[in-house]
Structure 1
């Protein structure tokens, strides 16, 4: 402690050196006694010459150590602050005391002051240890000083390593409103070992940033690497592709999911498939998919949608059959669509209840 600094300049009289060493030797056994004597010596030397004031700084260091051993961390920090202000003390020694003051303020629950002292120490250190930089970032996070924490993150020489630090950095960037940096960090951390949660977070953040295409691409990558799987992840991927402008890709995934049994082969899933092919403007597949949905569900809305699409895409016969079935099931809107069919020729066609009528061919 103090004895390690006794040979530094300015030189101290032998009496000071012996006294300081004696007090330090008793620090563990009699901290209260050391505190009292060191404090009195520091007060006595306050107005002396350079050697006196250097000795005073060392006595303040001893007093701080004694106070800390008695749980008086706030007082210890204040004495260390006073020691730092002693100009005759060597610069490196003063820097070390500033760092100690940061820890004492922290122990006293005075984190704002701890942040200030540690920040000063880091700024005056040519190559500060990464762990100390992260310590400061953690303290800033506790104080919810998100922008300051983000600035410190950006100043680091390397990207966050380890799950805990990456999670902390992600939280800081999000809280500071730096979503772009957060997304970059997430993408850097996505590899074959990334957890499903990491892939989901990355896609969700991309969507939050207004980039659904990137969200879909990230989810697709997670799916291809096996990190994402199952019905819910497949449905989510399809939804992202629909939102991201790649509906054909959504339809392909849904189709494979139905064939593989990942998705239940029911009207709900097939309706999603039909919407995907519709969004992709694949007329044949969309009409086939909607007809399959309508035949399975026998809901007026499904028949109506099939009729509307067939009408718009020039499939008059299919449109007539679908719209008549929709009308029979109670879709009032179907009447107007039937009336709009050219020349009303389809009005006299056989009723759509005849399920033997051929459906549209895929690719038509």
Structure 2
């Protein structure tokens, strides 16, 4: 998120223009000479004479220090123009200090002080004084509704400080004003909600983004991952399947994850069909691991014939005691006594000690109603 500040261009942070115009508020009457001087400084500022405006504004502000109400008001205006000159010259930190000084003058009108505080927050942000910017803007928002941009900004400032819960509250507040956030805002919102622990809220935002995500596979994977974290495997499988059908997700790794999500998400028969086809056409490596996954998928789908055939084929190829034992246990549970006896005997021969216990629980051979599988 830190790269965000490098390209910050929020409209209300265009402080050069905001500081230029003199405030129109109820204020003490100023002498004609002071008014003429201030207007002359404005013209100089427009003409780019920043150094002169900065020098003269500071000097006048120092001269008027400690005066009456009219002097204090004039001093604040000189500080404002000097701040604008600093901002125009690229020294946001110096401009912010001058505005802070203006805000601290006794007797200033509260509405004007608020406007300067908002501008100072922007200057602090431009100067990368993030904590001060956050405090100023947060305080300002306690008294003002603010725009969606204000709310996004305070959320970002809070996130920079790792205050995820507070940032999430402002994200939700921003979404109340901006129901269709742009890509950067929605991505930021999802990240903050996820970090704050609101994974369900993050997933809702990410799912809305998916229709606009195009070929950004990262967004699809992130959405599916969040659904898994929420223990919603079916939702994760649906998201992954949609990404696959759109062509965003592709390749053997994504194909295997697609199958695993279907297996975990309550559609094991679909997982088995996809895996069988993938092993047949070479999309996935024909390995013992994949063969076990295929057998487990048919087993989870309660497809007895396909499951037993898959386990038997695997056991014959692997000659692993555990594979023969699993086949025997499954055949035993489904009443396929002959197959169970054959598999359990083979498992015992290969070293599966518990196979004997299962064999003792089989019915006598003459009671078997099935002679072959």
TM-score bracket for the superposition, by shorter chain length: 0.7 to 0.9
**Is the CA contact (8 Å cut-off) linking 1:267 and 1:293 kept in structure 2?**
yes
**Is the CA contact (8 Å cut-off) linking 1:186 and 1:202 kept in structure 2?**
yes
1:70-81 mapped onto 2 (5 Å cutoff): 73-81=92-100
Change (3 A) 1:86 1:126: farther
Q: Establish whether residue 22 from structure 1 lines up as the match of residue 40 from structure 2.
A: yes
Instruction: Pick from 272, 292, 299 the counterpart of residue 320 of structure 2.
Output: 299
Q: 1:153-180 CA distances to partner (integer Å, 9 max, x unpaired)?
A: 1112124634332222222112212212
Instruction: Pick from 326, 335, 354 the counterpart of residue 356 of structure 2.
Output: 335
**Is the CA contact (8 Å cut-off) linking 1:9 and 1:89 kept in structure 2?**
no
Instruction: Pick from 111, 124, 128 the counterpart of residue 109 of structure 1.
Output: 128
Match of 1:175 in 2: 195
Per-residue deviation, 1:8: 5.3
Match of 1:350 in 2: none
Match of 2:8 in 1: none
Per-residue deviation, 1:286: 1.1
**Is the CA contact (8 Å cut-off) linking 2:259 and 2:275 kept in structure 1?**
yes
Q: SS where residue 5 of structure 1 aligns?
A: coil
Structure 2: how far apart are the matches of 1:3 and 1:210?
56
Per-residue deviation, 1:228: 2.5
1:1-364 mapped onto 2 (5 Å cutoff): 4-5=21-22, 9-10=26-27, 11-27=29-45, 28-29=48-49, 31=51, 33-68=52-87, 73-85=92-104, 93-121=112-140, 128=147, 130-156=148-174, 157-159=177-179, 161-191=181-211, 193-194=213-214, 195-343=216-364, 360=373
Q: SS where residue 155 of structure 1 aligns?
A: helix
Count of aligned pairs between the two proteins: 349
**Is the CA contact (8 Å cut-off) linking 1:64 and 1:77 kept in structure 2?**
yes
Per-residue deviation, 1:121: 4.6
Q: SS where residue 253 of structure 1 aligns?
A: helix
Structure 2: how far apart are the matches of 1:271 and 1:30?
76
Structure 2: how far apart are the matches of 1:39 and 1:272?
77
**Is the CA contact (8 Å cut-off) linking 1:310 and 1:316 kept in structure 2?**
yes
TM-score by length of 1: 0.82
Change (3 A) 1:345 1:304: farther
Q: 1:63-95 CA distances to partner (integer Å, 9 max, x unpaired)?
A: 323444666543421321232355766666444
Per-residue deviation, 1:259: 4.0
Per-residue deviation, 1:7: 6.4
Q: 1:93-134 CA distances to partner (integer Å, 9 max, x unpaired)?
A: 444422321122223332111123334455655562x44443
Match of 2:4 in 1: none
Per-residue deviation, 1:151: 1.3
Per-residue deviation, 1:346: 9.6
Change (3 A) 1:70 1:125: same
**Is the CA contact (8 Å cut-off) linking 1:179 and 1:209 kept in structure 2?**
yes
Instruction: Please tell me whether Structure 1 or Structure 2 has the larger radius of gyration of its CA atoms.
Output: 1
Match of 2:5 in 1: none
Change (3 A) 1:103 1:205: same
Structure 2: how far apart are the matches of 1:7 and 1:323?
93
Per-residue deviation, 1:192: 7.1
Structure 1: how far apart are the matches of 2:124 and 2:146?
23
Structure 1: how far apart are the matches of 2:366 and 2:135?
85
